[in-house]
Structure 1
């Protein structure tokens, strides 16, 4: 079987799960190639067969994006000749589109060149719960794609499946829930047991839907009881200055470490040096973004950390699937509830047991993930 993966930017640092899936499929015997508009992280994300079909540039990247997305001119900016050449040369049995923007581009290519190749469309989060609500043309293209007989869809959670049906009108029987996998390096790391002080960590971009402001408020409350506690925020993003200002205003900035970026291979060790992980995500009322699944929280659980997640998107679903009292669920935007849950987990030195970590590993393993994807590839081919 030959699969051409279309990934608009290959590979974005925060899309480790996409890169890992492509690599796992290749290692599992699927002859794979990647087609991308922009090649990123070449040395840290190597892959042998990568084709590039850049979107036609207009002055600079920001203006190019504005023309492509806001002015809805993407169909006129696609390099159709390169697409035709790559498909003729590689001769894929299946096209696998990763993200809604990948689906949108592929639909324009398909309509222009008339391929109708069996297609698996994998959506992951904002491409379902945010972009369809703020980009009418995007929604229209993906709604039309949902009617195509040669396309099946995947999402990482039942929550996102419902959003896909609601926001894109995708038929329920065409959508499969395929949980994201995490890298087994997280199971290989063990949380340090000799931590006498409360050490909290959270991983995620500094954007509104991640809810960091509520975690900082919760941490301020926790310091009244645990004066030697620390908080590590790993992410970087547009709200970094605002979050630092909040910490300074609360006079707790010396207790908080902001880390813009950590190499994925180094993240397990960093997680293991803490004892509580918090994912305080919220529904952003401006962008409509919600947490679709929660890979970062899953990685913390795999290391063994007690974990607090908010009732946001797929996080509640993730907590129920892991089924352990080392994971607590709290209401959104509730700093007091976050502080209470963190304190309770720390006081009883909660962590995931070896058997609970094994369960997490089995449910969200690369093998489980790729097996589900392979099943969908074969279904597409059998229905061709």
Structure 2
């Protein structure tokens, strides 16, 4: 069986574990740059290695029967180019968001990514939006294979939307500008007078944590607002079961950073929680406005507030949205189907 050496940013549960460890027909090596990026020790096993501790690439490749390299961000693909050249191994690279832009990139990034496009075998943008972005940067279209991230449908089980009188709004993800949490808090503040029993829960960690808490305090949200930091994945799923609406107000950050398609939206859709999001990046590939959910213009407090108000006033529409959303996930974003597609792309590169 062929072995793929995957280079990832970190070893943690948010970092594409299934796309590394569960590709059918392929063994894996789970590589990160240094030991400090081994952030979830529960995922450590004998197949986890550190790139900076490989002193003889030839011996390492031979001993581990490696036939293919997979970098899970463009920056990591650039890092692997000397290894690829020395070992004469094919390289595929996933494109996940900011790496398809020049946002906050080091000097020389455009030159280096063009080198990656020239020398790499295939590129897996996680949505058509990012495929177009890397085409604009110079990636040959015949090297691009869109590979959507999938959801484990056995883990995220559909249930009908809540029919009780609660109005619990939830959002989770990394606390960075492109996730739009500050916009969501302001939109929630606008609808509070009409829905005094509504609550907003934000789950995550990141550099905007203090800004989020400060804004909630400034707007006097009080007990209507909850912030939960870095809770376990199973607890996030539990929070979803108590949610009435899921909001993902994604937007282009001021530095140009963008999303692909957030997995959090897919998980909410699979679970049967009605979704409000934005016309940002690849999200319209996942949600057709007023079919699988509601989309608004990004970075727009008023439109987001109107969408929340609409959803809370039209509870009878929720099941129509969520059934269509679950069907969309089953058709195009089923983890098992996407892993099989990933294996087929590997086969294509290796000539199997």
Please report the TM-score for the alignment, with normalisation by the length of structure 1: 0.84
C-alpha separation between the residues in 2 aligned to 1:265 and 1:289? 29
Separation (CA, whole Å) in 1 of partners of 2:325 and 2:219:
37
2:58/2:87 contact within 8 Å kept: no
State the secondary structure of the residue aligned to 1:134: coil
2:51 is matched with which residue? Answer: 53
Relative distance call for 1:134 and 1:31 in structure 2 (3 A) is: closer
1:83 to 1:101, Cα distance in 2 relative to 1, 3 A: farther
1:342, distance to aligned residue in structure 2 (A): 1.5
8 A contact 1:281–1:291 mirrored in 2: yes
1:294–1:318 Cα contact (<8 Å) kept = no
> What residue is the counterpart of 1:332 in the other structure?
298
Length-normalised TM-score, structure 2: 0.91
Unaligned stretches of 5+ residues in structure 1: 55-78
The 10-residue stretch of structure 1 (86-95 or 226-235) with the greater mean CA deviation from structure 2:
86-95
Runs of 4+ in 1 over 4 A off after TM superposition: 352-356
1:212-246, CA deviations, whole angstroms, 9 ceiling, x for partnerless residues?
A: 11101110011111001000001111111111111
> 1:36 and 2:32 equivalent?
yes
Q: Is the 8 A contact 2:22 2:339 kept in 1?
A: yes
The question of whether the paired residues in 2 share the 8 Å contact of 1:309 and 1:316 is answered with no
Quick check: 1:231–1:257 contact (8 Å CA) kept in 2? Answer: yes
Q: Give the direction of change, closer, same or farther, for the CA distance of 1:319–1:208 in structure 2 (3 Å limit).
A: same
- The corresponding residue for 2:349 is 380
1:1-384 equivalence runs, <5 A:
1-15=1-15, 18-25=16-23, 28-37=24-33, 38=35, 39-54=37-52, 81-111=55-85, 114-131=86-103, 134-148=105-119, 151-167=121-137, 169-188=138-157, 190=159, 193-286=162-255, 288-320=256-288, 325-349=291-315, 350-351=318-319, 352-354=321-323, 356-382=325-351
- Secondary structure in structure 1 of the residue aligned to 2:280: coil
What's the secondary structure of 2:276's corresponding residue?
A: strand
Structure 2: tracts of 5 or more residues without a match:
none
Instruction: Output the CA distance in 2 between the equivalents of 1:23 and 1:300.
Output: 24
- Cα RMSD between the aligned structures? 2.2
Displacement after TM superposition at 1:173 (Å): 1.2
Shift of the alpha carbon at 1:153? 0.6
- Alpha-carbon offset, residue 279 of structure 1: 0.7
Q: How far apart, in 2, do the equivalents of 1:359 and 1:128 lie?
A: 25
DSSP 3-state at the match of 2:194:
coil
Structure 1: how far apart are the matches of 2:94 and 2:156?
26
What CA distance in whole angstroms lies between the structure 2 residues aligned with 1:80 and 1:88? 12
Native 8 Å contact 1:20 1:183 kept in 2: no
Which secondary structure does the structure 1 equivalent of 2:131 belong to?
A: helix
- Post-superposition shift, 1:336? 1.4
Quickly say closer, same or farther: Cα 1:345–1:47, change in 2 above 3 A.
Answer: farther
My pick for the range that moved more, 301-310 or 182-191, is 182-191
SS in 2 for 1:81: coil
- 8 Å CA contact 1:311–1:329 kept in 2: the answer is yes
CA contact (8 A) 2:246 2:276 kept: yes
Aligned residues: 347
CA contact (8 A) 1:124 1:292 kept: yes
**1:210–1:282 contact (8 Å) kept in structure 2:** yes
- 1:262 CA drift (Å): 2.3
Residue 61 of structure 1 corresponds to: none
3-state SS in 2 of match to 1:146: helix
Q: Secondary structure at the match of 1:93?
A: strand
